[in-house]
Amino acid sequence: MATSQDRLVEALRAALIENERLRRDAQASSSAEPIAIVGMSCRLPGGVSTPEDLWRMVAEGAEGIGPFPDDRGWDFETLFGDGAGSTYIREAGFVADASGFDAAFFGISPREALAMDPQQRLFLEASWEAFDYAGINQDSVRGTEVGVFAGAMHSGYAGDSAAVPPDSEGFLGIGTAGSVISGRVAYALGLEGPAITVDTACSSSLVALHLAVRSLRAGECSLALAGGVTVLATPNMLIESAKQRALAPDGRSKAFAAAADGTGTAEGVGVLLLERLSDALRHNRRVLAVVRGSAVNQDGASNGLTAPNGPAQERVIRRALQDAGLTVADVDVVEAHGTGTPLGDPIEAQAILATYGQNRSHQVWLGSLKSNIGHAQAAAGVAGVIKMVQALRAGLMPKTLHVDEPTPAVDWSSGSVRLLTEARPWPERGRPRRAAVSSFGVSGTNAHVILEQAPDIGEDRTDPEPVSRIVALPLSARSKAALGAQAERLAAHLADHPDLAPVDVGYTLAVTRPAMTHRAVVVAADLEEARAGLTALAAAAEGRDTPRNRDTVVRGRAGQRDKTVFVFPGQGGQWAGMALDLLDTEPAFRERFAECEQALAPHIGFSLTDAIADESRQTEVATVQPALWAIMVSLAHLWRSVGVVPDAVVGHSQGEVAAAVVAGALSLEDGARIAVLRSRALADLPPGGGMVSVRSSAEEVTARIAAFGGRLSVAALNGPTSVVVAGEAEACDRLMTEYAAEGVRVRRIAAEQAGHCAAVEPLRERLLADLASIAPKPPEIPFYSTVTGGRPGDLDAAYWYANMRQTVRFEPVIRDLRRRGHQVFVEVSPHPLLTTGVLETLEGTSPVVTGTLRRGENGRRAFLTSLARLYADGVAVDWAPVFPGARPVRLPAYAFQHERYWLNSAGRSAGPAEPEPARQKSDELTGPAALAALPAEERHAALLDLVRAEAAAALGHADAAAVDPDGAFFETGFTSLTAVELRNRLAEAIGIELPAMLIFDHPTPELLARHLGELVGQQR
């Protein structure tokens, strides 16, 4: 009989066996899991800069063949001659602006950019665009296992060493290394999966795709970039191919045609973003197509090193089908290698006929993108994949160009294969549409990929909340010019796609794009208003003025913004209907407001929402103050719902009650009790009191009211020249008359009772009794008291009497908060009352200050505008809750700002010239004594000019304006080498020995200039 121990051992053994079985099943499943294509990007001949551009070209039967580029320093006189170094073709497929690159975007100096192979530059930008296309925020993948698989061939860039300027030579080794094509993408984006560059010649990009698929299935990476790039940096390949008569005289590939007479040469880049299908569906990605299977093999010892091998091509096709678990009859279209050569095309056609042409009830169709754009070499395969992904989605098989008739060198009757000499609808066959793509390298490496239509998962979407369609469209860029270009692109896109939902556009911009330094937000109710705001933003970036609504466009520049303060004002910002529309549009506000109503209910005998809507009740203290309390507490909750969380709170007069609740120092119930009983007591004061706001200093006002013999008191210190006086109404009138006669700005505050003065002293015992039961708690968020001027003790009944009696010390508390490092001040109220006082108090310290709502304005629009102001200035916000029910949509990719970087073969650099150090204050100001003699502000300005000029020279910029005073040195292209060079330049300029770690310790020009100013000051 088995013991309990035996049964336990047996159970453990069974569990281990089952775990092993599950592991094997999971391994087998993952090794064959389909791979989703979730993003794409490309730049190809004919001005193609997006997958949509490519699809328009092939769907319309257009081509991208054109004249040779005139921006690469090629010697056309020799190239188009009859002797050595010439070619007989005059057209091919070239990428527009292959010499252009946004080096600053990637933190690369002009000196380094000039030494970079344009293939590195092109693949880097295209990789970024693939994430944009997929709707995946690049910041979200930084530090994760994302792979990079690049196919590339040697471009010959910088082959003539005499063409390299001396200051770029140190970057040449890395800049022209093929391995760095993938490595630089991984470095720039912070990707930690495999990074591999593959060179199998013309099959490189499909081999890279095959390796990426295998890596994803093996679990080496969670996402993978895969693609290829070719740029003809020199005409050498054209010259060499011309010697072999391998090029079509008219530059056009006539794939599988009787008229085939050679290859049409081309270049380009294409990048795919891949993810395991199960992960893509789990992440709610937009799946463009699926890679079902792939295979790679070699020709081996064929009839020539560069000659194609038909049996090897057949084998790679069968292996890919086996990997996909499909038969030949399951594939509808083959996007062939199809270069248009009389030798290669017949061999490939026979291999397709021997595989896909057999054992099927319907024809397989055959085409080649090379008839449209030429042979893009290392990018040819991925370009074919992008074409077929678009075809799968459109349900159209595009035509192959330049086919007079199918080549007679092939027995087309031997199988069910037909050329796509006309575009054809893709027939439905009761299964997903499928296509195959082939690439064969001149080195003998063959690759074949099977693509499948994306699964139909339906529309899993909840509609956005219907009441308010007002949305925010946040944009950001690395530069002001790029921000304007982004706005211009987006405006055009919205005009072309009027069916887009604004909530989807806003969500895509806010959530799927990283937040950069230069920022703007367009607040709009519909696409028409959005386009108008975007147009105004683009015009402003170009220095053109256009009429625009103040609350439509918010612009700013993000800085380091630490420590947020919520500011709660006293009475005065109320208005009929304030914030009530937020009950319909903002769930977070609605939820908290309902809780506040419930907490107030035992103490008030009226409907809170009715009272807020009633214009006649906006002067009733006992009505207004509880209403303001509920609204302020609810607005604070709304701010927190979008990620704006206070690091401290401060209240002004009755605003302290809301501040204490938000800080966690009072329960909601105690806060409601204080708000009601405090306001009721104040309302019971006899009339005859008054309050006056004076634009003068506290010292002057205090001295002035001394003459009134105690009838007036300083009630609040709101700013350096903003003081509130309270007391007897007649005395207030007299004070106003005096100030008005002197031209001092003064106004009467709408209040029948005078708070924060001796008039409230009769209420002391009543308040102490009414509030005796409250139970204050230690605050969860620091609460700064405007009663005590600092951190208070218990917020008990005695404190709340003092809150109503004592002077409101708002200005000194704000100063103290700024000294403690708080930079962001959010006034949480239905209308801003204190923002001006905060700005005046903190003048010269660059605070970020905003309100929340504004009198008479739509609540959602006002709140989004205030949120936009914080975001534009660099405050971290969570945009997702702003877009309920939204989904990502396809929007234009980042608007890279290109400058030209190209090494001419004649030895002349075509990139930015090295500037002379721009010491604009002349030589007499470049010694420590001369600098020390300057006033502090002038000295700092001179040193900042010097630092920017020398930094520009070290990086290779032509103008010191290219160096941002607040930009981090190592984000603008500095390396350890150029860091030392800058140190040396500055040491020479100011005549002071400086440490090698200078810009490591002082990481921006502004900070470095201040440090140098301190050193110069010590030389006196």
Sheet containing 364-367: which strands, arranged edge to edge? Answer: 195-198, 146-152, 223-230, 268-276, 35-43, 289-298, 445-453, 434-440, 333-335, 364-367, 417-419
Hey, what long-range contacts does 847-854 have (CB within 8 A, 24 or more apart)?
Answer: 847/818, 847/823, 848/561, 848/823, 848/824, 848/873, 848/874, 848/875, 849/824, 849/825, 850/825, 850/826, 851/826, 851/827, 852/635, 852/639, 852/826, 852/827, 852/828, 853/578, 853/579, 853/635, 853/829
Q: How far apart (Å, rounded) are the C-alpha atoms in residues 747 and 731?
A: 14
In this structure, the answer to whether residues 278 and 129 fall within a common structural domain is: yes
- Tell me how far the alpha carbon of residue 80 is from its chain's centroid: 46
Q: What per-residue confidence (pLDDT) applies to 551?
A: 57
Structure token pair of residue 567: 């500011």
Whether 131 and 138 have beta carbons less than 8 Å apart is answered as: yes
In this structure, the answer to whether residues 214 and 225 fall within a common structural domain is: yes
In this structure, the answer to whether residues 745 and 776 fall within a common structural domain is: no
Domain final position from 491, 522, 557? 557
For residue 459, being part of any structural domain is answered with no
683, amino acid identity: A
For residue 387, being part of any structural domain is answered with yes
The enclosing domain of 498 has a CATH number of 3.30.70.3290
- Tell me how far the alpha carbon of residue 611 is from its chain's centroid: 44
Containing 911, the helix (H) or strand (E) segment is none
Q: How far apart (Å, rounded) are the C-alpha atoms in residues 680 and 823?
A: 36
For residue 846, being part of any structural domain is answered with yes
In this structure, the answer to whether residues 492 and 629 fall within a common structural domain is: no
Structure token pair of residue 302: 């064929």
Q: How far apart (Å, rounded) are the C-alpha atoms in residues 514 and 887?
A: 17
In this structure, the answer to whether residues 217 and 266 fall within a common structural domain is: yes
For residue 905, being part of any structural domain is answered with no
Chunked in runs of 10, what are the mean pLDDT values of the chain (1020 residues)? 65 69 53 92 98 98 96 91 90 96 95 96 98 97 98 88 76 93 97 98 97 98 98 93 92 96 96 98 96 96 78 96 97 96 94 96 96 97 98 97 95 96 94 97 95 81 55 96 97 96 96 96 96 94 65 88 95 93 96 97 92 90 94 98 98 97 98 96 90 95 95 96 95 95 92 89 96 96 95 93 97 96 97 95 93 96 97 96 94 97 65 45 58 85 92 90 89 86 90 90 92 82
Q: How many domains does the chain fold into?
A: 6
Using alpha carbons, select from 866, 953, 941 the residue that is nearest to residue 915: 953
Q: What per-residue confidence (pLDDT) applies to 465?
A: 45
Which structural domain, as residue segments, surrounds residue 330?
A: 33-453
In this structure, the answer to whether residues 633 and 692 fall within a common structural domain is: no
In this structure, the answer to whether residues 704 and 834 fall within a common structural domain is: no
**Got the DSSP string for 956-1000?**
T-S-GGGS-TTS-GGGTT--HHHHHHHHHHHHHHHT----TTHHH
Domain final position from 389, 422, 453? 453
Alpha helices (H) along 642-770: 655-663, 668-683, 698-705, 729-741, 764-770
CA dihedral 684, 685, 686, 688 (to 10 degrees): -130
Residues paired with residue 451 on neighbouring β-strands, in sequence order: 291, 435
Identify the residue whose tokens are 């190592």.
970
Structure token pair of residue 484: 């304007």
Kind of pairing between the strands at 364-367 and 417-419: parallel
3-state SS class at 2: coil
N-terminal to C-terminal alpha carbon distance within the chain:
99
Structure token pair of residue 359: 């054992």
Q: How far apart (Å, rounded) are the C-alpha atoms in residues 878 and 130?
A: 24
3-state SS class at 89: coil
Q: How far apart (Å, rounded) are the C-alpha atoms in residues 610 and 625?
A: 15
In this structure, the answer to whether residues 703 and 776 fall within a common structural domain is: no
Q: How far apart (Å, rounded) are the C-alpha atoms in residues 261 and 386?
A: 26
Whether 825 and 733 have beta carbons less than 8 Å apart is answered as: no
The enclosing domain of 791 has a CATH number of 3.40.366.10
Q: How far apart (Å, rounded) are the C-alpha atoms in residues 952 and 959?
A: 7
For residue 329, being part of any structural domain is answered with yes
For residue 612, being part of any structural domain is answered with yes
In this structure, the answer to whether residues 204 and 224 fall within a common structural domain is: yes
Domain final position from 873, 897, 919? 873
Using alpha carbons, select from 451, 316, 442 the residue that is nearest to residue 377: 442
3-state SS class at 120: helix
384 CB-contact burial (10 Å; exposed 0-12 / middle 13-18 / buried 19+): buried
Kind of pairing between the strands at 712-719 and 564-568: unpaired
For residue 885, being part of any structural domain is answered with no
Whether 678 and 654 have beta carbons less than 8 Å apart is answered as: yes
Kind of pairing between the strands at 223-230 and 91-92: unpaired
Structure token pair of residue 916: 């002379």
Cβ neighbours, 10 Å, residue 246? 15
The DSSP symbol for 857 reads S
In this structure, the answer to whether residues 229 and 364 fall within a common structural domain is: yes
Give the sign of the dihedral formed by CA 655, CA 657, CA 658, CA 663: positive
Kind of pairing between the strands at 899-900 and 848-850: unpaired
Alpha helices (H) along 284-362: 310-324, 344-355
The DSSP symbol for 465 reads P
Residues paired with residue 648 on neighbouring β-strands, in sequence order: 565
Give ∠ CA 862-868-873 in degrees, rounded to 5. Answer: 135
Q: How far apart (Å, rounded) are the C-alpha atoms in residues 91 and 77?
A: 15
Measured in residues, the chain has a length of 1020
1005 CB-contact burial (10 Å; exposed 0-12 / middle 13-18 / buried 19+): buried
For residue 444, being part of any structural domain is answered with yes
Q: How far apart (Å, rounded) are the C-alpha atoms in residues 396 and 426?
A: 5
Q: What per-residue confidence (pLDDT) applies to 661?
A: 98
Identify the residue whose tokens are 């990048």.
271
The enclosing domain of 173 has a CATH number of 3.40.47.10
Identify the residue whose tokens are 């405090």.
678
In this structure, the answer to whether residues 618 and 691 fall within a common structural domain is: no
Cβ neighbours, 10 Å, residue 24? 10
Cα-flanking dihedrals φ and ψ of residue 182, to 5°? -80, -40
In this structure, the answer to whether residues 728 and 802 fall within a common structural domain is: no
Structure token pair of residue 1005: 């020009």
Q: How far apart (Å, rounded) are the C-alpha atoms in residues 469 and 122?
A: 39
Q: What per-residue confidence (pLDDT) applies to 552?
A: 84
Q: How many CA atoms lie within 13 A of 884 on its CB side?
A: 14
Q: What per-residue confidence (pLDDT) applies to 68?
A: 96
Q: How far apart (Å, rounded) are the C-alpha atoms in residues 199 and 445?
A: 10
Using alpha carbons, select from 189, 190, 228, 193 the residue that is nearest to residue 209: 228
